[in-house]
């Protein structure tokens, strides 16, 4: 039962907020925790094996606490000390009252105590202007009299950095320190470099690039726009602990040297230009070789910002994809298809004469003539250039300070044919643990799931972006909020969104309006007066923390964001007219209901805004109550009531028609419970009418699309939900899939057989927003849902339909692996479920009566893990404790005695179950 703490054994931890979580690995029926006991020890010598560390006195011993909690248990010992490693372990008592053995140990290490802008002996430095270097190399050589006991590098940049120590790369992170609003906070990384140092001379070297800080960002990226600052700068310090415990700090200052190297330019949008003839061999060896012209680094002052220890994984290199086809349309030019639209860079192996210039252009699609389609990249050049140094040896080029969204690459300037082994597409994105799987008997749906997953991977780079390829790649809030439920199934995105919520609250305006993008680049592009607070976009500020709480069970995310969330509601209240929101910018973005371009939406902003105002206020009533703010909760509930009344008065006619008779209008009214109970069936009939008008096809945009299948399912039209999902004709989710899509498209008509490529001004082939259907696929088709936050209690309720003969969903929940997999057999339906330790589940077997249900070969009521529950909406319901179960559901006609004899069943409290 090893505990798990995210990230595993984190280094450079914020000292104030240690919390512990562990997963019980126990396959026994009803496995659960009844008590917990945590011990934390301080480790002065990190070479001590973890198991021995507990021989000493713990700094905190919680003692045995009778509690079932295994998530986010706060450290309650004396204050943690900075720059210190702690080991911890946990022991639990199980559901039978037995104490289990201690877990293996995990560790964490603290960094600086405060998010203070000042580090010892360290200041920001940059390169000398006379060099006008784009990607300067900086270095410092120092001498150690003896090998240290331990050494840590704390490092960050305005821009991007790659660090080296004595010639070797430090860590595997890329595009560090990532993107935040650099005017407010910058994250730093911590590396254990003890093993990299040696007695005598040592050299720490760093290469800097513009990145988000000083590179192109935002559309119209033709000229350098350097939104945060004119050029990159570095802040780094080595903390070296000698064998005698003495501490030495070696930080960036004017004693560092800078020089130009082979990187002529590097830009996130435009690509990297590398001239291998200008390499500086041995420039950061110990001692460095004589190469290049070095000048003193220039100290530089900035207004103080918070320096925060990074708490999520950085961008990393993931798998490598080989070409699926290579063509040579003209001599020296090769077009390669990797078979998958993705995000990353190319790794190229090339042997050519010195000065040979190789150009790599990236694209998501090819035209009819087989040439790259790059018009949709707008001003992003997405072009890497490599100039060979020659010498007869194979050279490897892999850009390190850029990324591209592409499936195809054109490589030109070749003097000899390329072999397939010479090229790889290297996938890059923020490190996230995969958590979910989803599969059905329909290969097209499986490909849709693959598109959604790749859409997520391609857009989870530092912030949740709209797209990874054109001159945009921004943290659009609307896209993020519609996709977050799906995102939580495919990967563990809690750390990623927690960081982004910080970006979002950093970007919140003083009046409470949340921005359209976070970090708020649009404020830098258009000034602080640009309109924000747009419906369904700004609402991300309330919806994202709420979804995170639901899916991960962590109230801390609500507590941290509570005041920002409240300010957004207050802003809406103060800028509404009789609780009706004013029209806002984006409508039902890219809907197909005939509205004006580019949003395409007929559903008015006032309706969308007022619906979301009610929705987010309703969420806040729950959040406030959860956090114990009772008066606030009542205030939000009353406010929601007024908004709902105003909504009905303004937008709903007596025959329950909405003033804008669109799919999205009915979806919002139904999804957010804005209509009186009695009117809802009529609204569903109107919704069906609007679908019929579109030949049972969707016409929704970013706002309506995520609601389609859930609303139809909830209001008894599962048949229609499946019908929409399985449409292959335009517009539908499967239309792109049937036309070869490998990622989600931005528009329903990003490409059509009749019109070819869609509106070039905004046409990405890798936009995750319409992938928001993924949440419904896991929850409804697979049947894997939750009834208590964090999956403490699961809700397993598959809804077979749409001609599917099988579906399977699995999720590594915060408590462990859960799954729900069903398939049709000759004798009925077999449903296999897995309920993780320390959780329970509500089961909705897809049966009309419990008489049809057998569990593990037994009548369900003979199974000691299963309990009867009151039927809901005439559907039979059971409950179960942790364990794995095989249910068999006979078709209704086979069931003996379709009348129910449920009255003879005596429900047992779950906690008493045992074998
Ligand atoms: C982005 C969208 C975004 C929208 C807002 C676009 O340029 O790509 O995904 O939500 O603008 O209007």
Express each pLDDT in 841-888 by its tens digit: 999 999 999 999 999 999 999 999 999 999 998 899 999 999 999 999
Give buried/exposed letters for 815-838 (b at 16+ CB in 10 A, else e): bbbbbbbbbeeeebbebebbbbbb
pLDDT-derived band of residue 645, with 50, 70 and 90 as boundaries?
very high
Q: Cβ(906)–Cβ(22) under 8 Å?
A: no
Cα–Cα distance measured from residue 83 to residue 43, given in angstroms and rounded to the nearest whole number: 11
Ligand 1 centre distance from Cα of residue 665 (Å):
20
Ligand 1 centre distance from Cα of residue 782 (Å):
31
- In 702-792, which residue ranges form alpha helices assigned H by DSSP? 705-714, 718-726, 734-738, 774-776
Instruction: Indicate if 875 belongs to the active site.
Output: no
Ligand 1 centre distance from Cα of residue 600 (Å):
13
Q: Cβ(323)–Cβ(423) under 8 Å?
A: yes
The DSSP 8-state label assigned to residue 903 in this structure reads G
Cα–Cα distance measured from residue 779 to residue 782, given in angstroms and rounded to the nearest whole number: 6
Atom of ligand 1 nearest to the CA of 479: 10
pLDDT-derived band of residue 531, with 50, 70 and 90 as boundaries?
confident
**Model pLDDT, residue 46:** 67
Cα–Cα distance measured from residue 124 to residue 141, given in angstroms and rounded to the nearest whole number: 17
**Model pLDDT, residue 347:** 98
- Average pLDDT (378-404) is 97
**Model pLDDT, residue 898:** 36
pLDDT-derived band of residue 906, with 50, 70 and 90 as boundaries?
very low
Q: Cβ(706)–Cβ(698) under 8 Å?
A: no
Q: Give Cα 730 distance to the centre of its chain.
A: 29
- Average pLDDT (226-242) is 95
- Catalytic residue (one of 410, 472, 632, 852): 472
- Catalytic residue (one of 162, 462, 746, 852): 746
Atom of ligand 1 nearest to the CA of 598: 12
**Model pLDDT, residue 597:** 66
Q: Please check the confidence at residue 131 and state whether its pLDDT lies above 60.
A: no
> In terms of residues, how long is the chain?
915
Atom of ligand 1 nearest to the CA of 586: 12
Q: Please check the confidence at residue 29 and state whether its pLDDT lies above 50.
A: yes
Q: Is 417 exposed, middle or buried (0-12, 13-18, 19+ CB in 10 A)?
A: exposed
Angle, helices 630-651 vs 556-574, to 10°: value is 40
Residue to probe by mutation, ligand 1, list 378, 380, 478, most atoms within 8 Å of CB: 478
- Average pLDDT (585-591) is 91
| CA quadruple 112, 116, 121, 126: dihedral sign | positive
Least confident of 44-48, 254-258, 541-545: 44-48
Write phi, then psi, for 344 (nearest 5 degrees): 160, -145
Q: Please check the confidence at residue 593 and state whether its pLDDT lies above 90.
A: no
Strand partners, 110: 13
CA-proximal residue: ligand 1, atom 12 (nearest): 586
- Average pLDDT (152-156) is 97
CA-proximal residue: ligand 1, atom 8 (nearest): 466
Ligand 1 centre distance from Cα of residue 745 (Å):
13
Q: Please check the confidence at residue 147 and state whether its pLDDT lies above 70.
A: yes
pLDDT-derived band of residue 129, with 50, 70 and 90 as boundaries?
confident
Biggest CA-to-CA distance, the chain: 91
Ligand 1 centre distance from Cα of residue 488 (Å):
22
Per the listing, tokens 């006379």 go with 130
Tokens encoding 476: 């659009």
Instruction: Indicate if 788 belongs to the active site.
Output: no
Q: Please check the confidence at residue 894 and state whether its pLDDT lies above 50.
A: no
Ligand 1 centre distance from Cα of residue 761 (Å):
11
Mean pLDDT of all residues belonging to the chain: 93
Q: Cβ(720)–Cβ(776) under 8 Å?
A: no
Atom of ligand 1 nearest to the CA of 769: 9
Q: Cβ(323)–Cβ(409) under 8 Å?
A: no
Atom of ligand 1 nearest to the CA of 537: 10
Cα–Cα distance measured from residue 142 to residue 140, given in angstroms and rounded to the nearest whole number: 7
CA-proximal residue: ligand 1, atom 2 (nearest): 466
Residue to probe by mutation, ligand 1, list 467, 479, 514, 596, most atoms within 8 Å of CB: 479
CA-proximal residue: ligand 1, atom 3 (nearest): 476
Residue in 858, 847, 855, 843 with CA at minimum distance from that of residue 890? 847
Q: Is 98 exposed, middle or buried (0-12, 13-18, 19+ CB in 10 A)?
A: exposed
- Average pLDDT (462-488) is 98
Strand partners, 406: 342
Ligand 1 centre distance from Cα of residue 469 (Å):
13
Q: For residue range 810-826, list pLDDT tens digits in order.
A: 999 999 999 999 999 99
- Average pLDDT (673-679) is 98
Strand partners, 473: none
- Average pLDDT (28-52) is 86
856 Cβ contact partners less than 8 Å away, ≥ 6 residues apart:
863, 885, 886
Which residues does a 6 A CB cutoff place in the pocket of ligand 1? 466-467, 472, 476, 478-479, 586, 589, 762, 767
Cα–Cα distance measured from residue 739 to residue 752, given in angstroms and rounded to the nearest whole number: 9
Tokens encoding 913: 């179950």
| CA quadruple 22, 27, 31, 34: dihedral sign | negative
**Model pLDDT, residue 145:** 96
Residue in 914, 830, 841 with CA at minimum distance from that of residue 882? 841
- In 144-303, which residue ranges form alpha helices assigned H by DSSP? 211-214
Q: Please check the confidence at residue 785 and state whether its pLDDT lies above 60.
A: yes
Share of the chain above pLDDT 70, in %: 94
Least confident of 9-13, 469-473, 524-528, 802-806: 9-13
Ligand 1 centre distance from Cα of residue 466 (Å):
7
CA-proximal residue: ligand 1, atom 5 (nearest): 586
Question: What totals of helices (H) and strands (E) does the chain contain, helices first?
Answer: 16, 46
- Average pLDDT (783-797) is 98
Q: Cβ(146)–Cβ(197) under 8 Å?
A: no
pLDDT-derived band of residue 50, with 50, 70 and 90 as boundaries?
low
Cα–Cα distance measured from residue 888 to residue 911, given in angstroms and rounded to the nearest whole number: 25
CA-proximal residue: ligand 1, atom 4 (nearest): 476
- Cα-atom radius of gyration of the chain, to the nearest Å? 29
Tokens encoding 333: 């030019």
CA-proximal residue: ligand 1, atom 11 (nearest): 476
- Average pLDDT (556-579) is 98
Residue to probe by mutation, ligand 1, list 469, 473, 476, most atoms within 8 Å of CB: 476
Ligand 1 centre distance from Cα of residue 401 (Å):
25
**Model pLDDT, residue 907:** 26
Strand partners, 298: 126
Atom of ligand 1 nearest to the CA of 585: 12
- Quick one: CA torsion of 508, 514, 520, 523, rounded to 10 degrees? -90
Share of the chain above pLDDT 90, in %: 88
Cα–Cα distance measured from residue 817 to residue 815, given in angstroms and rounded to the nearest whole number: 7
Atom of ligand 1 nearest to the CA of 702: 10
């Amino acid at each position: 039962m090893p505990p798990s703490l995210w990230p595993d054994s984190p280094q450079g931890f914020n000292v104030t907020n240690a919390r512990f979580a562990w997963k019980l690995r126990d396959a026994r029926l009803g496995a659960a925790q009844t008590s917990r006991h945590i011990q934390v020890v301080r480790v002065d010598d990190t070479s001590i094996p973890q198991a021995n560390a507990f021989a000493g006195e713990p700094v905190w011993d919680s003692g045995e606490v009778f509690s079932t909690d295994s998530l986010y248990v706060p450290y309650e010992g004396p204050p943690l000390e900075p720059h210190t490693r702690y080991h911890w372990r946990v022991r639990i008592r199980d559901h039978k009252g037995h104490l289990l053995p201690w877990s293996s140990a995990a560790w964490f290490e603290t960094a600086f105590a405060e998010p203070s802008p000042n580090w010892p002996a360290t200041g920001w430095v940059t390169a000398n202007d006379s060099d006008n270097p784009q990607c300067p190399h900086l270095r410092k050589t120092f001498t150690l009299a003896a090998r240290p006991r331990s050494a840590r590098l704390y490092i960050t940049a305005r821009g991007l950095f790659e660090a080296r120590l004595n010639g070797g790369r430090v860590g595997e992170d890329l595009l560090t320190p990532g993107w935040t609003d650099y005017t407010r906070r910058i994250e730093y990384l911590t590396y254990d470099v003890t093993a990299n140092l040696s007695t005598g001379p040592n050299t720490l070297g760093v290469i800097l690039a513009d990145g988000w800080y000083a590179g192109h960002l935002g559309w119209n990226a033709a000229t350098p726009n350097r939104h945060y600052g004119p050029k990159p700068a570095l802040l780094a310090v080595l903390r070296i602990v000698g064998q005698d415990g003495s501490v030495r700090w070696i930080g960036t200052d004017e004693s560092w040297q800078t020089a130009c190297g082979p990187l002529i330019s590097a830009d996130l949008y435009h690509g990297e230009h590398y001239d291998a003839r200008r390499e500086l061999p041995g420039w950061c060896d110990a001692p460095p070789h004589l190469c290049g012209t070095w000048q003193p680094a220039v100290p530089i002052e900035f207004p103080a910002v918070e320096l925060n220890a990074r708490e999520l994984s950085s961008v990393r290199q993931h798998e490598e994809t080989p070409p699926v086809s290579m063509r040579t349309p003209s001599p020296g030019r090769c077009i390669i298809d990797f078979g998958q639209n993705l995000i990353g860079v190319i790794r190229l192996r090339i042997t050519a004469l010195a000065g040979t210039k190789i150009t790599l252009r990236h694209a998501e699609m090819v035209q009819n003539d087989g040439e790259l389609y790059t018009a949709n990249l707008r001003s992003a050049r997405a072009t890497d250039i490599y100039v060979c140094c020659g010498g007869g040896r194979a050279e490897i080029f892999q850009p390190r300070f850029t990324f591209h969204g592409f499936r195809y690459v054109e490589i030109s300037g070749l003097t000899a044919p390329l072999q397939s082994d010479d090229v790889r597409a290297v996938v890059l994105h923020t490190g996230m643990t995969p958590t979910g799987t989803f599969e059905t008997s329909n290969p097209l749906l499986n490909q849709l799931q693959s598109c959604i997953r790749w859409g997520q991977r391609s857009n989870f780079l530092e912030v949740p972006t709209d797209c990874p390829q054109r001159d945009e790649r921004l943290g659009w809030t609307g896209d993020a909020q519609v996709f977050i439920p799906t995102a939580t199934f495919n990967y563990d995105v809690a750390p990623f969104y927690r960081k982004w919520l910080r970006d979002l609250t950093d970007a919140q305006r003083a009046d409470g309006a949340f921005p359209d993008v976070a970090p708020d680049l649009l404020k830098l592009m258009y000034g602080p007066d640009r309109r924000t607070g747009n419906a369904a976009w700004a609402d991300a500020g309330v919806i994202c923390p709420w979804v995170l709480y639901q899916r991960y069970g962590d109230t801390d995310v609500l507590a941290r964001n509570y005041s920002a969330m409240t300010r957004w509601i207050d802003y809406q209240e103060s800028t509404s007219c009789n609780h009706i929101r004013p029209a806002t910018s984006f409508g039902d973005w890219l809907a197909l209901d005939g509205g004006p371009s580019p949003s395409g939406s007929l559903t008015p902003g006032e309706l969308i805004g007022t619906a979301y105002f009610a929705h987010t206020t309703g969420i806040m009533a729950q959040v406030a109550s959860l956090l114990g703010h009772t008066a606030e909760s009542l205030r939000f509930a009353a406010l929601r009531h007024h908004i709902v009344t105003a909504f009905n008065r303004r937008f709903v006619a007596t025959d329950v028609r909405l003033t804008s008779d669109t799919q999205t209008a009915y979806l919002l009214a139904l999804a957010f419970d804005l209509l009186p109970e009695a009117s809802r069936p009529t609204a569903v009939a109107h919704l069906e009418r609007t679908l019929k008008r579109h030949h049972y096809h969707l016409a929704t945009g970013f706002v309506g699309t995520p609601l389609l299948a859930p609303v139809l399912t909830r209001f008894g039209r599962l048949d229609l939900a499946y019908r929409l999902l399985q449409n292959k004709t335009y517009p539908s989710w499967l239309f792109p899939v049937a036309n070869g899509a490998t990622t989600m498209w931005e528009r329903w008509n990003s490409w059509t057989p009749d019109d070819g490529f869609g509106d070039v001004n905004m046409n990405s082939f890798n936009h995750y927003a319409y992938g928001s259907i993924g949440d419904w696929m896991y929850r409804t088709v697979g049947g894997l849902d939750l009834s208590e936050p964090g999956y403490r209690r699961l809700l397993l309720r598959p809804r077979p339909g749409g001609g599917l003969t099988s579906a399977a969903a699995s999720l590594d929940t915060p408590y462990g692996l859960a799954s729900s997999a069903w398939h049709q057999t000759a004798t009925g339906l077999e449903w296999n479920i897995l309920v993780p330790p320390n959780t329970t589940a509500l089961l909705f077997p897809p049966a009309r009566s419990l008489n049809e249900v057998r569990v593990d070969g037994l009548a369900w009521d003979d199974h000691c893990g299963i309990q009867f529950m009151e039927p809901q909406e005439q559907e039979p319901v059971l409950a179960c404790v942790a364990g794995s179960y095989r249910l068999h559901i006979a078709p209704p006609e086979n069931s003996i005695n379709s009348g129910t004899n449920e009255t003879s069943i005596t429900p047992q409290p779950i906690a008493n179950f045992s074998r």
